[in-house]
Structure 1
């Protein structure tokens, strides 16, 4: 993010808006892009084009934007305009209304091409909140109405981008000439260690990896992982909810990081580094990577019950772990249907009699004693077996740190052996995969991570090999 100074109007900005096939930058694609290069006084260059997303545009998105599948059929694909996007935005500050949305989409489009796109960016939503506090909403429409601006072609890239240009002009007029930090960065900088280089914070990558907080003695005091290193570190620095978080922030004299590409590798590497260094605040703030888990117990009648609950050091071993409760509920309901399990014995239906599925013939009646425990438990045990780490030998292949490589995790006879990175074209050679592995220890935390990713198939490929 950007710190705006008194020379703000002497900078070049690229005021940008995009339309997309949906809201998730990892799964969806850009359908239209408008970029206006603005020197603080006037527009000096522009790029405005539809983009062929190479996929179907959902009907509700077509209705919202007016962009149809026919309209983009002959439009350039993103790779055909990528060079122009790089050129027009070079040495400029990226500006957008809710900038993280537009910026992340463009970053992901470039990432698919094997190119790391990074620009300093500025969000007009946050800047508006800073300069015009107290408004009921900071949507582009409400701000335009408040400032008397006209928006033509609403929900089209060009119309919204031009409206943002006019909004940005108004915000520059309201700028009083004093140092004005971006809202997010200003919160980050409060109370930092005097030895911490502010440029480090601005240059943090927005990719998946492991990060390190080091003290004045260059010793790690906290190690973490995130799918967006910069965003996660900013959240640490903005945290004022506990004395411990504020204290940790004041002790951070240096920040280091390792980009991993794969979230699985980030989790495995974080676990290894925390065990190796035992940082002070990791011990104080010890938490499970996965906050919810699916656990088992056998009731007095002999039936194996499943229960979804928060994961903690006292909760025992879960058969599956989840990032959140919603993810766990979705998984459990799917398994209930697949294995014909009892809703009541899985903790999702409470009644004095049978569960709802029993009433409509989908449950075999374990909840009312109609199905013997031995028959019911056989299906539950099948689920448990399916959630275990396979005892054979294989490599898990996942995305690497760039488009030219892949991450490789080695499992031998069901035991974790380590991970490494291989050139993309070497993943077909078993010998080459063995050679890139850096050894790491197997342990309970690692097995929980692997079990969760394997059960949910959160990897790209699985390659078996024969081990002695």
Structure 2
């Protein structure tokens, strides 16, 4: 659990400041589960520059609760939480100072989103909260008020969790949260999980990840792990102490994240999925008559495929659909073995490329259209898919035919600017598996929006 907060103060001498407003959002790594927002009577003067900055003046605070009146609520909402703030050292110091005045030793672990941003989103012109969230397309309201700044930090922290590909933030949280570590029953773990699309991480008691998976229904999938009797499931059941997850909204994002993180983290129970996930590929070549021929064959790492398939059967189904959709020849696509005309020509549904009756230019034009639709080589584009919330979408960036990474953006934010787009993207590795995942997904999901970039 995280307590994401922002504090406004009176200003003044070091360790003599008082709190004028505090906002705390309790966050489980996915959504806000509790919140506390309050003005606070600091019982001291507010510096004029602070009044101009925040708009909070002494008259507004005359009837506000004093710190000792809200201290109990602050202790409760931050209990067993990691404090998260933009410039956390400042906010944590102010809180400790106020509690010290009450004779209470306030101790919490903390995370600073300034430091996390410098590490996970390098190269930004400024890491001040206002400039940073604007450059990342994060909407912010009530700037320099505790609630507005804390909410902006919530959204920034959510993006940082996305970009934390090593999962160091979440693993540290698992280690620090004894409630997660000590869950005795599988049913208690399942109870806390949502029925959403995403990637899940199965942890041992020390926080180490032993298995990574993806599902369109995480709760149902974990239940299957806990009830199956195969050797892998039994190992999971014996070792699991906690399950964390990352909502993706999009199945494509989940597939890409799962593939990337299994290869990088190498969980002990994911050995099979570290290997390449496709066996067959589509290749093209020109015959002696200059017609483009297609062939489904065993994937050869030395050749560049048009697209790839999990097995021969799915490759064959692709070719059969392509023959119908693009009026292609059965012989030239490798489906009908013959030295003469194909069966479709005999029944008048093939235009005769198999016996050189159709001009090569006419036939090849249709084949090239098929190849272009199923290969993003040399293309600059963004694939837009579902997001984690109704007002959000996911973006998968491809530059010059290379998968660069993915991210999430608010629907009110324009992403056709490549520089801004790159700032919200979490970089990911481009490899044959990612190409297979993207091409397979696009074949099955024709409605995925594609934006071609200049």
| Structure-1-length-normalised TM-score | 0.48
Name which one, 1 or 2, has greater alpha-carbon Rg: 2
TM-score by length of 2: 0.50
